[in-house]
């Protein structure tokens, strides 16, 4: 019997990754290409098509669907990019139409951060802790975020849901954010923010990596330690608003900044405990609810989460179709 | 043929309202009683039982379920109250067990603010605007809030979801909140907060009602006007975080403070436009998305929304049971 497989595409600002995925198992093959933004949109779409066709030609079995993840903002269901900061010049690009017309078949399309959250929920931390709802924050160059509710991505009504990296943590005189707003979490908890905060506090700091700030903090540098204390506070404020609004069982932290978890976690938990009554009622230390508590954990799948989520997306759509059919009866 | 009806109970700190509701139509009868908190929990439950039995004795038709709304925090599915500020002394009370044992039958139980949101979604503003997902903020003595996603209440994993009145809008030196935290929306947008802010700004203000602050603002009082400007800012900050995280099509404002909508709305929309890129991409004024936009509207059902939601709750549970049965096939 032919095996069922899907193909997933992770379209990033730097890398274009395309994988074949055996349903319920693992990657069959992963192709890594550069995203040739300088060559124009058509070249990128052509590269994507060629990689997909190369995988199809392997004869892995029966291809049941193609999922594509892209940086947002992405307007769904139309599949139109809206001024995406990581795909400069692609504003208004009809990504779905372009890919579907190149391939001659339908695809499933989603924001890449939502796909990473879906993969974590299905195959990562969600599986580990038995939770089918979670919010994932990826602390990298920016702060990506995705939301999964009852096992399915919460895309929002127009595809733009799950952007918790832009919860406001500094209402007044907030640092301007790449999103056009100010005072967003991203400006206080991303690797970029960590470097900026360190420079503001310590005149001599000339490195450009958050890892160097981490090493200084590990060595006892007071400024570096205060930076991570503030990262913890910003995350504590954000989680307070998320926990009180959503009462999810699981919140995940991913991305490179997590190497400093031991430095920012104490302040994060302190703020959350002090300010969120829902957290106090459900925290692991509360004996009344320790069996069923609010957890904050590290993501488990690492950088491949987005690509895995793209591979899972067609399976999710098939499930929805079955449910929709049943509910019509 | 016997008509199907449900019974709904709205257990408040002051009033106990019990209604019979004809499915898909209107209230058949509403009983209004005082909530005799001073007499103890058993008296309140006994009053509830008597009112329900009186309605059943009317012979309206076939009773298909009983829904009960209560102030939170409410731990679900157990139905245990957790230190509810509006039912002092009821901490740890097993509300579900107590009511079910008094009635000798199962009930459906929910947080009252979530029920008001369910009613608005099903019969109020959600119906008007064709939206099956919304977040509702009720600006009264406190700020109540409920969340409905895809037509169903989002209770959270332990029943405590939807508390957007406790999104943090003042991270630093925030006003202490009744929830035990500080800087929550409730301290900047409730009727209580409006009176407090007016007193802080104007030594001579001795009234205890937000309506009086509103009348002063209407008359041009600078302090009163600045209070409502700050209410708008706090709502704008909150909506920014909600819109960016959830990308819902509809946000509702209810409660007495809405009489001042014309005073606080301009600042609310200004902040939201400036700080939420998701809002800018989906606001009604954006021609690209005006057909399918993010709306902020007034709630339509008024104070009866909570009682209506309690009447609708058993119908929602029946629907879920049918779906669960189908998904097992």
Tell whether pTM > 0.90: yes
The answer for residues whose C-beta is within 8 angstroms of residue A105's C-beta and 6 or more apart is A66
Q: Which residues in chain A have their CB less than 8 angstroms from residue B178's CB? A: none
Q: Which of A75, A76, A143, A247 to probe by mutation at the B interface, max B CB count within 10 Å?
A: A247
Cβ of A158 within 8 Å of Cβ of B277? The answer is no
The predicted-structure confidence for A250-275, as pLDDT tens digits, reads as follows 999 999 999 999 999 999 999 999 99
Which residues lie across from B251 on neighbouring strands?
B135, B296
Q: Tell me the residues of chain B between 40 and 99 that have a Cβ less than 8 Å away from chain A.
A: 73, 75, 82-83
Q: Which residues in chain B have their CB less than 8 angstroms from residue A248's CB? A: 156-157
Q: How many CB atoms lie within 10 A of CB A88?
A: 10
- Is A280 near chain B, with CB under 8 Å? yes
Q: How many CB pairs under 8 A join A and B?
A: 165
**Residue B329's pLDDT band (boundaries 50, 70, 90)?**
very low
Residue among A223, A243, A298 at smallest CA distance from A265: A298
**Residue A321's pLDDT band (boundaries 50, 70, 90)?**
low
Taking the CA atoms of A207, A211, A215 and A221 in sequence, report the sign of the dihedral they define. Answer: positive
Cβ atoms B164, B145 nearer than 8 A: yes
* 8-state DSSP, B256: G
Q: Find the DSSP H helices in B83-169.
A: 95-103, 112-123, 125-129
Which secondary structure element, helix H or strand E, spans residue B5, and what is its range? Answer: strand B4-11
Q: Tell me the residues of chain A between 217 and 246 that have a Cβ less than 8 Å away from chain B.
A: 233, 237, 240-242, 244-246
SS3 B145: strand
- Is B175 near chain A, with CB under 8 Å? no
Nearest to B248 among A157, A179, A323 (CB): A157
SS3 A55: helix
The answer for residues whose C-beta is within 8 angstroms of residue B210's C-beta and 6 or more apart is B191, B192, B194, B195, B256, B257, B260
DSSP for A178-205, please give it.
TTS-BSBTHHHHSHHHHHHHHHHH-TT-
Which residues lie across from B6 on neighbouring strands?
B21, B65
The predicted-structure confidence for B217-265, as pLDDT tens digits, reads as follows 999 999 999 999 999 999 999 999 999 999 999 999 999 999 999 999 9
Cβ of B158 within 8 Å of Cβ of A73? The answer is no
Cβ atoms A148, A162 nearer than 8 A: no
- Distance from C-alpha of B11 to C-alpha of B34, rounded to nearest angstrom: 10
Burial of B285: CB neighbours in 10 Å, binned 0-12, 13-18, 19+: exposed
* 8-state DSSP, B289: T
The predicted-structure confidence for B165-224, as pLDDT tens digits, reads as follows 999 999 998 999 999 999 999 999 999 999 999 999 998 888 889 999 999 999 999 999
Nearest to B281 among A82, A147, A241 (CB): A82
The nearest CA of chain B is from the CA of A51 a distance in Å of 33
């Amino acid at each position: 019997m032919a095996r069922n497989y899907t193909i997933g595409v992770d379209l990033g600002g730097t890398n274009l990754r395309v994988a074949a995925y055996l349903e319920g198992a693992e990657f069959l093959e992963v192709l890594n290409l550069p995203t040739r933004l300088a060559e124009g949109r058509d070249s990128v779409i052509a590269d994507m098509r060629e990689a997909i066709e190369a995988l199809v030609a392997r004869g892995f079995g029966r291809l049941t669907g193609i999922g594509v993840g892209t940086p947002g903002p992405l307007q769904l269901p139309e599949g139109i990019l809206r001024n995406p900061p990581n795909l400069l010049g692609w504003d208004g690009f009809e990504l779905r139409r372009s890919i579907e017309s190149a391939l001659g078949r339908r695809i499933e399309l989603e924001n890449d951060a939502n796909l990473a959250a879906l993969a974590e929920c299905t195959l990562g931390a969600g599986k580990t802790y038995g939770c089918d709802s979670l919010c994932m924050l990826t602390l990298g160059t920016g702060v990506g975020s995705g939301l999964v509710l009852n096992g399915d991505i919460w895309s929002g009504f127009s595809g733009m849901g799950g952007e918790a990296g832009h919860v406001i943590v500094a209402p007044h005189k907030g640092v301007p954010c790449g999103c056009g707003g100010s005072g967003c979490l991203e400006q206080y908890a991303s690797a970029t923010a960590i470097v900026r905060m360190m420079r503001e506090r310590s005149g001599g700091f000339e490195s450009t990596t958050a890892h160097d700030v981490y090493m200084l903090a590990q060595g006892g540098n007071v400024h570096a330690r205060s930076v991570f204390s503030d990262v913890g506070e910003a995350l504590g404020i954000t989680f307070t608003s998320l926990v009180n609004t959503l009462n999810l069982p699981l919140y995940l932290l991913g991305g490179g900044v997590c190497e400093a978890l031991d430095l920012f976690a104490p302040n994060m938990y302190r703020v959350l405990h002090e300010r969120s009554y829902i957290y106090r009622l459900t925290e692991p230390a509360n004996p009344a609810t320790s069996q069923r508590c609010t957890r904050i954990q590290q993501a488990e799948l690492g950088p491949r989460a987005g690509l895995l989520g793209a591979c899972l997306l067609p399976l999710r759509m098939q499930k929805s179709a079955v449910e929709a059919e049943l509910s019509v009866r």
